[in-house]
Amino acid sequence: MKKKWIGVASAVVLGAGLLAGCGSNSGSSSSSTEQVSLKIGMWASSPAEKQLVDKQIAAFEKANKNIKVTTQVITGNYLQALQPMLASKTAPDIFYVDASYAPTLEDSGVLAPLDSYIKSGKVDIEDFAPAALNAFKWKDKTYGLPKDYNTMALEYNKDLFAKAGIATPPKTWDELIADAKILKSKGIAPLSMPIDVARYYPLVVDFGGSYYDSSSNKVTIDDPSNVAGLKFFIDNMKEKYIQAPKDLGGDWAGVPFSQGKVAMALEGAWVLPFMQQSAPNVKFGIADFPSANGKSANMTYTVSYSMAKSTKNPKEAAKLLFFMTGKNAEKMTAESGLAIPTRMSQQDVFLSKNPDYQAYVNGIKEAVPYQFGTYGQNFVDAVNKATEQGVLNGLAPEKVLSQAQDTVKSQSQQ
């Protein structure tokens, strides 16, 4: 299942989300009487998302009588459709940018840096969850403000836990594997998790590693610090304490989890509406993502509003962008329940209506963005292919890491 929960971040794993509020100057009408037309570029994961965007636009237009805003819903492959628009300078004035490919667009020079507008507009950026905000910074400049986010949590089947005599969900990876041994001994598949860096990367971080240095845009896959986390993942896949969804009859972990074939899954909040629709009678709980060595990493999938460098009305476009990521619009997002707002001031509003999402909200605190600089999907493909070979063929973690590093380097030289 592709993760389009509502806008947050993510492409395969990408998480989805929506929009948000207003900067300090977004609540007052524009001083100019000249009519300005702006366009917002977006995808729509559901009719409800489009309705929410329209509601936010209406609030903006009411406060800015001289600015007319239209939307352009981009269907199909969003990035593939957006890139020629950016190249020909026909892109919408502001538009969604997923964190996974944000660095590529930022580095190419097609996005406008926002720092001067943020400063002059006195936009409160301290209110944003830092992990989400940092996903749209590149070479010390800000190229987008996050509108929503998603993270992962541990979903567990209460009936299968009770059958195995397990009273509470594990808090650490060591506890999880201890529970997995008990579950396996009872003939219950313990945990479903794909062989995908988009899911297992927090393990690498928890165990002290890092595949990518964002400060230098440098691949560090073969660094020795990455061995411990990858070894833990591969070893437990081999023991079948962790099982790939395809081995349990699903194309993502939510499928076997919904069918009661596995006791635990590690997925994002997109699993909740799926469970409501496909398995309303399954009793399950949601706990924080497991920790290791005193660290509790996570992955955040987030989406920004960014501005096209080619916009003919940058001041007005910035005003619109700050409104759509400001507190008023973020409150609308929180009240809609469609996505987790990135502004921390609105998270209590969201949780008051959606208490089941507490673990996903918690996950942002120690999260790393789902992005690997300008290497993008080539990086993900290289790591995933090498990791799969490691699991299937029993390769040493050092060999897996070396192969992935070599592949990424060779691709970047082409």
Per-residue pLDDT tens over the stretch 121-160: 999 999 999 999 999 999 999 999 999 999 999 999 999 9
- For residues 1-20, give the mean pLDDT: 35
11 burial type by CB count under 10 A (0-12 exposed, 13-18 middle, 19+ buried): buried
Q: Evaluate whether residue 98 is within a structural domain.
A: yes
Q: Evaluate whether residue 394 is within a structural domain.
A: yes
Verify that 398 and 260 share a domain, yes or no.
yes
Verify that 290 and 316 share a domain, yes or no.
no
- Is residue 412 classed as helix, strand or coil in its secondary structure? helix
Query: pTM of the entire structure?
Result: 0.90
At 58, phi and psi to the nearest 5? -60, -40
What is the torsion angle, in degrees rounded to the nearest 10, for the CA atoms of residue 173, residue 177, residue 183 and residue 187?
130
Verify that 262 and 392 share a domain, yes or no.
yes
State the Cα–Cα distance between residues 317 and 306, nearest whole angstrom: 10
Q: Is the pLDDT of residue 29 over 60?
A: no
State the Cα–Cα distance between residues 15 and 301, nearest whole angstrom: 4
Verify that 170 and 263 share a domain, yes or no.
yes
Q: Tokens in use for 355?
A: 């208490």
Verify that 247 and 385 share a domain, yes or no.
yes
State the Cα–Cα distance between residues 273 and 4, nearest whole angstrom: 11
Last residue of a domain, one of 353, 369, 385: 369
Verify that 274 and 348 share a domain, yes or no.
no
- For residues 194-207, give the mean pLDDT: 95
Verify that 288 and 219 share a domain, yes or no.
yes
Q: Is the pLDDT of residue 352 over 90?
A: yes
Q: How many domains does the chain have?
A: 2
Q: Evaluate whether residue 26 is within a structural domain.
A: no
DSSP-derived letter for residue 88 is: T
- Which residue from 21, 22, 25 is spatially nearest to 120, judged by alpha carbons? 25
DSSP-derived letter for residue 344 is: G
Dump the DSSP string for 265-307: EEEETTHHHHHHHH-TT--EEEEPPPBBTTB--EEEEEEEEEE
- The CATH number for 243's domain is 3.40.190.10
Verify that 142 and 157 share a domain, yes or no.
no
216: left (phi over 0), alpha (psi -120 to 50) or beta: alpha
Buried b (16+ CB within 10 A) or exposed e, 128-161: bbebbbbbbbbeeebbbbbbbbbbbbbbbbeebb
Q: Evaluate whether residue 22 is within a structural domain.
A: no
Verify that 219 and 341 share a domain, yes or no.
no
The predicted structure's pLDDT at residue 3: 35
pLDDT tens-place string over residues 253-270 = 999 999 999 999 999 999
Domain span including residue 355: 36-150+300-369
pLDDT tens-place string over residues 49-84 = 999 999 999 999 999 999 999 999 999 999 999 999
Q: Evaluate whether residue 209 is within a structural domain.
A: yes
Q: Tokens in use for 51?
A: 């309705």
pLDDT band at residue 383 using 50, 70 and 90 as cut-offs = very high
Q: Evaluate whether residue 18 is within a structural domain.
A: no
Q: Evaluate whether residue 28 is within a structural domain.
A: no
Verify that 113 and 51 share a domain, yes or no.
yes
The predicted structure's pLDDT at residue 32: 53
Verify that 238 and 312 share a domain, yes or no.
no
Last residue of a domain, one of 369, 385, 404: 369
In angstroms, how far is CA 121 from the centroid of its own chain?
27
The predicted structure's pLDDT at residue 27: 38
CA gyration radius, the chain: 22
Q: Evaluate whether residue 120 is within a structural domain.
A: yes
Verify that 65 and 83 share a domain, yes or no.
yes
pLDDT band at residue 414 using 50, 70 and 90 as cut-offs = low
- Which residue from 153, 150, 152 is spatially nearest to 17, judged by alpha carbons? 150
Q: Contact 290/172 with Cβ under 8 angstroms?
A: yes
